[in-house]
Amino acid sequence: MNFEFATATRILFGPGRSLDAVQIIAGLGKLALVATGSNPDRASRLLESLRRAGIEPVVFPAAGEPSIATVQAGAAVANERGCEMVIGIGGGSALDTGKAIAALITNGGNLLDYLEVVGQGRPLRAASAPFVAIPTTAGTGSEVTRNAVLDSPEHHVKVSLRSPRMLPALAVIDPELTHSMPPALTACTGLDALTQLIEPFVCNSPNPMVDALCRDGIRRAAIFLPRAFVRGDDAEARENMALAALYGGLALANARLGAVHGLAGPIGGRVGAPHGAICARLLPFVMEANIRALERREPGCPVLERYREVAVLLTGKPQATALDGVEWTYGLCRELEVKPLSAFGLSAPEIPRIAAQAQKASSMRGNPLVLEDDELMQVLHRANGYMP
């Protein structure tokens, strides 16, 4: 065994912990840039608590998926106001926006200096400004990851700003903040969390600490995601999904991902779909493609046993086969009313180009085997249309 495990400096988990955290946040500084989603009102209780604790919040609303331009604008505001720390409160977009701003205000320069794929990919030399992550969805796990996924409209692709120096100083997971999520958002963020538990578990570079988190997280998501979808005020379901999402973030930060995320980046750069919705749609098709390719080309591969274990965790049936897990996942996607990629504007002529772009994605290097271009295109065509 040869592995490492890194995460946020401190993690607080539990109902109501977002307000408990204010005194800890006060120790990080007195002027904070607060990156929110498109509706800053959702952060109103936190903002008032910050003010009562003597912390001045500079609110920076970040609507939609985070982009290079948004991050550079946020960093300019933070530098102009002299912000000592950054707080991200919202979904994965708000957290990634805040995380990238915190990195840019201490490292300076242009964001393209540090970005993968479309930029120069230079390493961050300075630690980020203290960053506090407070998720209001249960999906991305961005509160404990060392990267931020950003949209580059000019290049029609989503790219990562990535560095161990970007790990948050404090992650606060308060399941009560997720109770207001509507069913569609619950579905796509929850399936994103499930993807981030399955892909690291079956990746080509597993980590035994990650494996333990994935096993528990997959089981929790299988039981509680359907419940959270049906009843948003189911406190037990919301708490368990918040924990599953946290586990997914810890997993992807310390192991590898795979073809779902490899494909999601190029797709997200071409259609106006949230990252979680793309991953939700791709998950069962990629699972099936990987299993069938392994059975054909590497029938003795131990990853097939891992896919069988995933199936047992999903179905609760000790005798489940790997493909039983695929069928269960197709069924869950139907139950959660996951939309085809075509609903977001993906057209068939774009598929070959997306497959070619995906082959270059860093996430694709973690897939349990190399999927050929025609296999990726088959996944995309199927995900663009019908659900088995």
Residue length of the chain: 388
SS (H, E, C) the chain: CCCCCCCCCCEEECCCHHHHCHHHHHCCCCEEEEEECCCHHHHHHHHHHHHHCCCEEEEEECCCCCEHHHHHHHHHHHHHHCCCEEEEEECHHHHHHHHHHHHHHHHCCCHHHCCCCCCCCCCCCCCCCCEEEEECCCCCCHHHCCEEEEEEHHHCEEEEEECHHHCCCEEEECHHHHCCCCHHHHHHHHHHHHHHHHHHHHCCCCCHHHHHHHHHHHHHHHHHHHHHHHCCCCHHHHHHHHHHHHHHHHHHHHCCCCHHHHHHHHHHCCCCCCHHHHHHHHHHHHHHHHHHHHHHHCCCCHHHHHHHHHHHHHHCCCCCCHHHHHHHHHHHHHHCCCCCHHHHCCCHHHHHHHHHHHCCCCHHHHCCCCCCHHHHHHHHHHHHCCCC
Which pLDDT belongs to residue 334?
Answer: 96
CA-wise closest residue to 366 among 196, 174, 193: 196
List of domains in the chain: 11-178 (3.40.50.1970), 183-384 (1.20.1090.10)
First to last CA, the chain: 39
CA-wise closest residue to 270 among 364, 320, 344, 190: 344
Which pLDDT belongs to residue 388?
Answer: 67
Rounded to an integer, what distance in angstroms lies between the CA atom of residue 360 and that of residue 177? 37
Structure tokens that stand for 3 in this block: 């592995």
Name beta bridge partners: 134: 89
Which pLDDT belongs to residue 2?
Answer: 85
CA-wise closest residue to 330 among 388, 386, 279, 264: 388
Residues 195/160, Cβ–Cβ less than 8 Å: no
pTM for the model stands at 0.95
Tens digit of pLDDT at every position of the chain (388 positions): 788 899 999 999 999 999 999 999 999 999 999 999 877 788 999 999 999 999 999 999 987 788 999 999 999 999 999 999 999 999 999 999 999 999 999 999 999 999 987 888 899 999 999 999 999 999 999 999 999 989 888 887 788 899 999 999 999 999 999 999 999 999 999 999 999 999 999 999 999 999 999 999 999 999 999 999 999 999 999 999 999 999 999 999 999 999 999 999 899 988 888 889 999 999 999 999 999 999 999 999 999 999 999 999 999 999 999 999 999 999 999 999 999 999 999 999 999 999 999 999 889 999 999 999 999 999 999 999 977 6
Sheet holding 11-13, edge to edge: 11-13, 170-173, 131-135, 85-90, 31-36, 56-61
Residues 291/307, Cβ–Cβ less than 8 Å: yes
The burial of 108, by beta-carbon neighbours within 10 Å (0-12 exposed, 13-18 middle, 19 or more buried), is given as: exposed
Among all chains, which residue has been given the structure tokens 């490899």? 262
Task: Encode pLDDT of 118-140 as tens digits.
Answer: 888 899 999 999 999 999 999 99
